[in-house]
Structure formats: C-alpha cells, structure tokens
Amino acid sequence: MLASAYLGDLGGLSAHRSLVRLDLRGTGESAVPADPATYRYDRLVDDVDALRVHLGRDRIDLLGHSAGGSLAVL
C-alpha cells in the first residue's frame, strides 16, 4: 500500500473533477494503527465513508487502484 501522492492528478483528471486522495491507514500521511487488526476491509470501508461524510457529500465518485479497487467495490 502506497501513499496516494503517487497517483498525481490522475492523468489530468483534476482539470475536470475535484480530487480528494485518501491515504489509507498506515500509508502516506495516515498514522499507523496501534492494532494491526484494524487494517480489515470493513474498517477501511468505514474510513472512506467517514471521509464522504466529513466532506458533506451524499454521493461521491470513487476510484480505487490495485487493492483499493476491491475496497471501492465494497
């Protein structure tokens, strides 16, 4: 799992959409959790939904790369 910064502006997508890149638990600027069990997918899904709520959005377009693709589907 890498920091989201490696995605850059997603090939120019930022010219057409507002991008918010999330560093999942223990990656990039996110803190490493004290309990490794919190890396579970259900907790990561909750993190993404908490970000959506924090942004004040009812709906978002979500893109996941690599293992994040599975997370996006969930």
Residue 44 sits in which domain range? 4-73
Task: Quote the number of domains for the chain.
Answer: 1
In 20-69, beta strands by DSSP E: none
Q: Under a CB-based contact definition with an 8 Å cutoff, are residues 37 and 12 in contact? A: no
Q: Is pLDDT above 70 for 34?
A: yes
pTM (2 d.p.): 0.84
User: What's the confidence (pLDDT) of residue 66?
Assistant: 84
User: What's the confidence (pLDDT) of residue 50?
Assistant: 96
Q: How far apart are CA 69 and CA 74, in angstroms?
A: 9
Q: Under a CB-based contact definition with an 8 Å cutoff, are residues 28 and 4 in contact? A: yes
Q: How confident is the model at residue 7 (pLDDT cuts 50, 70, 90)?
A: confident
Structure tokens at 52: 């959506």
Residue with tokens 């638990």: 25
